Amino acid sequence: MKYVRLSLSLPPETRNPMHQFVVDHEGYEASYLLRGNDIDEEVRTLLFYVDGHPIAPYREALEATEHILEYAISTCPGESFYLYVRDRLSETGRSIVDAVTAAELVGVSPVAFRADGTMALTLVGPGETVQRSVEAVPDGIAVDVREVGEYASHRFEPAAALTDRQFEAVAAAVDCGYYDEPREGSTAEVAEALDCSPGTAAEHLRKAEARVMGRLVEGDGPADPARADSRNP
């Protein structure tokens, strides 16, 4: 099984408005699509991690974007936040999704929408299928093949090893400053967010940390080529 890491250069007029916001505003580095679900052929729900600030103008842009049906924001320590979106797929977005589907490839999270206007993504599939990935990109979008190789087991995404409850615990810990230096949050605050006892919250965190650290050590480096690239453009 092979992977290909692509950087797509989208013309400004075809970019998603929120990607264009990141391009146009100082203080924003990128937004990272972490997960998504299709509700029907046109509507989907998405979870982003947005590396940038301030939030207020970003929120105003969300309100002004017609195809966004609903959104929610959760702030993080530092200059970043998580974004939940329910929206209608744009024409360009649909063409990219259709191209990946037609090529019988699987997209690997995260997908990075960068301030330089590019979109970085990693696709996985059989060798002959991966070779067709560039041909599958819609006309008008410039493609830069950044890397091709064997998709080894150590590239497994660490967060995927967590149960939903463990992921919720880690997210709550990040939000309350538990991992800050110096530490500002406590397991009691995590427990309050999860509606459980401090002992149970501490156990969730311990198990989550053990799983994630184990994945990283086994892989001897970043868990996914897209993640390594998205943090080091």
Asked whether residue 88 carries a pLDDT value surpassing 50, the answer given is yes
Q: When comparing pLDDT for 79 and 24, which is higher?
A: 24
Angle between helices 187-194 and 198-219 (to 10 degrees): 100
Asked whether residue 226 carries a pLDDT value surpassing 50, the answer given is no
CA-based nearest residue to 168, from 198, 197, 199, 208: 208
Residue 218 — pLDDT band, cuts 50, 70, 90? Answer: low
Furthest-apart CA atoms within the chain: distance in Å: 55
For the stretch 114-137, pLDDT in tens is: 999 999 888 888 877 776 777 777
CB-based contact 219:156 (threshold 8 Å): yes
CB-based contact 135:123 (threshold 8 Å): no
Name which of 58-62, 201-205, 229-233 the model is least confident about. Answer: 229-233
Place of tokens 């149970």: 200
Which residues are bridge partners to 150 per DSSP?
A: 2
Q: What is the pLDDT of residue 161?
A: 59
**pTM of model > 0.85:** no
Place of tokens 């029907």: 40
CB-based contact 130:3 (threshold 8 Å): yes
